[in-house]
């Protein structure tokens, strides 16, 4: 496993741990939070982050400025990535991939236990193909010098926390997988699923996939009208679809994309570790199709994005001050006041902009894609993994049994046994 991929899993697992009180994966939690804060405060070019902005970004990413941030800044300074000074910190110019590599280094240099390495290794294995707890125990226990009981306890705790998912396939064995399943080798896995569906269901899935290939994203209700709620729940729960949420003061709106829409341009979890490109696509789509002309509606997205990617500011426009707040909190853009109540915006992470633009230009994202977003500012973006967790938690027993069957088909390549 390369360091970018390891860093991505540390961030993924770190986010899961933030929702628990568990202390068994302390090194993962610290490395994950360190990487999250480093991503939020860094840009492609070296710069200074003031203390108020530093604390605001920490809070926005669920890091306590008082109890957690000082230790993280100390570690980042030890790694020579930041230089604390009067009134803030100076931060090296970093890309998203380099942030992941530094996250992995922080973990590697920490005092951590073998079971923490184990959950990272198993996560990568389970993202390639569904596997079993018995198979990974045989593979990983010798490698990391863990007993079968230690591995069993680790896997049980890891599934409860949500590092990866599991479905029972017998009284003694569980199937392990995770939501990154369709980022790699998608065609083979989808074909395996198609072979296990009823003819009508397979036809519906083909129709949805074709529409998503054409448009890039669709409202959730447009997808469920075609598939039906039960079939969609099965497919979503195993990771075939991503559901993102764009929120504002008039409510939350759900969108469906395929993991492959992004993996077409970037083929690893490392490129999707922060879900920043998906957040940028959602915000730009809103600006193209919903925001009014008088607020600063986006009319030439390619020209605008290329200007941002090349390091220039855009604006002034009234809409900039409100439509990109979710991206500000992740350190993707910097927004500055201008005259007359208007604002300008600068892109801090050009590699995120390049990926977002590629997805937008490849799929014809039109007004149909976001027709249900009310004309109000975007203040919240909920990542697909969080929505899939809710889906799996609320799934009925019938849906879980069918999801298990789909996973078995993926695991065997659709071969009839």
Q: What is the pLDDT of residues 58-116, one digit of tens each?
A: 998 889 999 999 999 999 999 999 999 888 999 999 988 899 999 999 999 999 999 99
Place of tokens 């492959």: 260
- SS3 state of residue 165: strand
**pLDDT tens digit sequence for 105-134:** 999 999 999 999 999 999 999 888 889 999
pLDDT above 90: residue 287: no
Out of 39-53, 55-69, 125-139, 178-192, pick the least confident. 178-192
Burial group, residue 331, by CB count within 10 angstroms (0-12, 13-18, 19+): buried
Per-residue pLDDT at 189: 82
Angle between helix 26-41 and helix 3-18 axes, rounded to 10 deg: 100
pLDDT of residue 181: 76
What is the predicted pLDDT for the residue at 44? 85
Q: How many CB atoms lie within 10 A of CB 386?
A: 17
DSSP assignment of 200-235: HHHHHHHHHHHHHHHHS-EEHHHHHHHH-HHHHHHH
Query: What pLDDT score was predicted for residue 388?
Result: 63
**The pLDDT of residue 21:** 87
**Mean pLDDT value across residues 199-205:** 93
What does the pLDDT read at residue 108? Answer: 97
The residues that bridge with 242 in the sheet, in sequence order, are: 257
């Amino acid at each position: 496993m390369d360091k970018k991929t390891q860093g991505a899993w540390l961030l993924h697992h770190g986010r899961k741990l933030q929702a628990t009180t568990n202390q068994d994966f302390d090194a993962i939690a610290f490395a994950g939070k360190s990487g999250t804060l480093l991503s939020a405060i860094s840009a492609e070019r070296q710069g200074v982050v003031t203390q108020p902005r530093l604390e605001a970004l920490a809070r926005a990413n669920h890091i306590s400025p008082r109890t957690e941030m000082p230790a993280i800044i100390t570690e980042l300074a030890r790694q020579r990535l930041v230089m604390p000074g009067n009134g803030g910190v100076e931060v090296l110019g970093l890309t998203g991939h380099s942030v992941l590599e530094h996250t992995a280094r922080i973990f590697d240099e920490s005092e951590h236990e073998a079971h923490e390495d184990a959950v990272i290794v198993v996560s990568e294995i389970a993202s390639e193909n569904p596997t079993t707890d018995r198979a990974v125990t045989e593979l990983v226990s010798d490698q990391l010098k863990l007993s079968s009981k230690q591995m069993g306890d680790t896997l049980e705790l890891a599934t409860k926390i949500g590092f990866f998912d599991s479905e029972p396939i017998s009284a003694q064995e569980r199937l392990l997988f995770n939501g990154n399943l369709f980022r790699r080798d998608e065609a083979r896995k989808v074909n395996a699923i198609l072979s296990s569906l009823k003819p009508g269901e397979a036809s519906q899935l083909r129709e949805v996939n074709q529409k998503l290939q054409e448009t890039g994203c669709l409202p959730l209700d447009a997808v469920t009208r075609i598939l039906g709620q039960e079939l969609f729940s099965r497919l979503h729960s195993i990771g075939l679809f991503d559901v993102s949420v764009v929120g504002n003061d008039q409510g939350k709106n759900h969108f469906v994309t395929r993991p492959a829409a992004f993996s077409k341009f970037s083929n690893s979890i490392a490129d999707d570790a922060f879900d920043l490109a998906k957040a940028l696509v959602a915000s730009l789509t809103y600006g193209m199709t919903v925001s009014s002309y008088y607020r600063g509606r986006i009319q030439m997205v390619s020209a605008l994005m290329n200007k941002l990617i090349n390091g220039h500011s855009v604006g002034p426009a009234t809409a900039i001050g409100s439509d990109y707040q979710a991206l500000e909190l992740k350190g993707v853009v910097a927004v500055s006041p201008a005259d007359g109540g208007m604002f300008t915006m600068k892109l801090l992470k050009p590699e995120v902009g390049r990926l977002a633009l590629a997805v937008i230009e490849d799929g014809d994202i039109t007004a149909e894609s976001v027709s249900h977003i009310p004309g109000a500012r975007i203040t919240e973006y909920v990542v697909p993994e969080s929505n899939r967790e809710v889906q799996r938690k609320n799934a009925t027993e019938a849906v879980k049994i069918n999801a298990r069957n789909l996973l078995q088909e993926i695991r065997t390549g659709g071969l009839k046994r």
